[in-house]
Structure 1
Amino acid sequence: MAKIFRVSVRAGMTRVVEPLARSLLRAGVSPNTVTVAGTVGVLVGAIGFGARGQFIPGLIIVTLSALTDMLDGTMARLRGGTSRFGAFLDSSMDRIADSAIFGAVAYWLATQDDRLGLVAALICLAAGQVVSYVKARAEGLGMTCNVGIAERPERLITVGVGGLLSAVGLDWGLSAVLWILAVLSVITVGQRVAHVHGQARDAKVSVDA
């Protein structure tokens, strides 16, 4: 259900950003430039604001910057498809952006002496990177790995909700949400490993047969 909703939202947003994508292409702007610009925006929002506990402006900047992930994809599609380097750059910038977001949250919690929240943020940071790595490694081996209860969009939305709760005065909200996300992220790692294991086992059975 979540994936169906996400696909529907993405399709609607694509229709909105397509005119902008065409304009940027006519102006000579490349999808890779937009990818890097979006990541820089996330760094500004996360490190410049989120790390100081200014979650509302941080969330606004990070959200607007994250939308470039859809914009650069639309631009690439209009140009005839994503290049191999473009796909590599996009994935690399996503990892940098995710690290900045959770690193900034961890830093803020450390300054507030919230040790439990800090531990949860670090688990989210590490598990999120593993979730992405497992998928990339599986695809590099010729398998699929599009499964998991807490994929990248869910992780970013969840930490955003935690930031909003903290911004409106519910100081416990961020830590609570991070612990929920930490558990879901670890479960997602297990789901992906199990999924890849099943494919590898089926492939071995087919070869042996």
Structure 2
Amino acid sequence: MLSSKLGHRLDKPLAPVARWLAGLGVSPNMLTVAGAIPNVVAAVVLAYGHYRVGGVIVLMGGAFDLLDGAVARVVGKQTRFGSILDSTLDRYSDALPIFGLMLYYSGWNPPEGRMRFGDMILCAAVVLGSLLVPYVRARAESLLQRCDIGLAERAERVIIFAVGLIINADVAALWILAVLTHLTVLQRLLYVRAHLHEAPEELEHAGSKGKKLKPSNAKSNL
């Protein structure tokens, strides 16, 4: 929702930083890879139960996610490979910090750790929802021009998770994410069903000709 509403409106405020990074020879793909590193660190930090520090680190990773697209647009290097790389590493970034929490909930680090089986199941539900949200969009956009609707695109997920950690409300954040991600999957399925129902012949005709519909964004905001 945030990604769809904002679109490229952040390009202007980010442009000076993007130009500075481009001037240093920093490529969009370098920023994409660098953006995954904070989430690896966050996973380790969260595995030891340090919620607030982990939340701040997750937000840092989200900042890199904004910059790689901005640099790509400044230098005019929006590539299909860059889009795939960004989307793939976003999935790792979605899952790794939550896996860190799962490890902490498993009670592996006594005496701070404690077995919290229900919360581990909750983490698994969030990971599953976070992976299905972009999957459904990718499948939908092989049939439709756009399917960027939904309550929990990646920007919302990062903010909810990070803020929940920082204010020591990790379980509440996980419940919100579990509900919103699966609602987003349902929203997108219903959206596709409605639009396919409206123009089935046109879509079938496009598919029979092997027509490839243009994706809505070079930068992934899944």
The TM-score normalised by the length of structure 1 is 0.84
Name the CA distance, whole Å, in 2 between partners of 1:178 and 1:57.
17
More helix as a share of residues: 1
SS in 2 for 1:67: helix
Change over 3 Å in CA distance of 1:3–1:58 after alignment to 2: closer
SS in 1 for 2:103: helix
Corresponding residue number in structure 2 for 1:86 = 82
Number of corresponding residues: 198
Name the CA distance, whole Å, in 2 between partners of 1:207 and 1:185.
27
The aligned amino acid for 2:179 is V
> Is the CA contact (8 Å cut-off) linking 1:135 and 1:145 kept in structure 2?
yes
| Cα-to-partner distance string for 1:15-70 (whole Å, 9 max, x where unaligned) | 443222112212222110111011112211x2221221112222222212221111
Find out whether 1:24 has 2:26 as its counterpart: no
Find out whether 1:141 has 2:143 as its counterpart: yes
1:60 to 56, 67, 82: 56
1:176 to 172, 176, 179: 172
2:32 to 32, 35, 41: 35
> Is the CA contact (8 Å cut-off) linking 1:158 and 1:181 kept in structure 2?
yes
> Is the CA contact (8 Å cut-off) linking 2:55 and 2:162 kept in structure 1?
yes
Which is worse superposed, 47-56 or 70-79? 47-56
Runs of 4+ in 1 over 6 A off after TM superposition: none
The percentage of counterpart residues that share the same residue type is: 34
Q: CA deviation at 1:81?
A: 4.7
Name the CA distance, whole Å, in 2 between partners of 1:29 and 1:175.
38
| Structure 1: segments with no counterpart, 5+ residues | 167-172
Name the CA distance, whole Å, in 1 between partners of 2:4 and 2:82.
26
Name the CA distance, whole Å, in 2 between partners of 1:50 and 1:182.
19
Which is worse superposed, 116-125 or 18-27? 18-27
Corresponding residue number in structure 2 for 1:129 = 131
The aligned amino acid for 1:158 is I
Q: In angstroms, what is the RMSD of aligned CA positions?
A: 2.3
Name the CA distance, whole Å, in 2 between partners of 1:128 and 1:40.
19
Name the CA distance, whole Å, in 2 between partners of 1:159 and 1:30.
28
Name the CA distance, whole Å, in 2 between partners of 1:180 and 1:190.
15
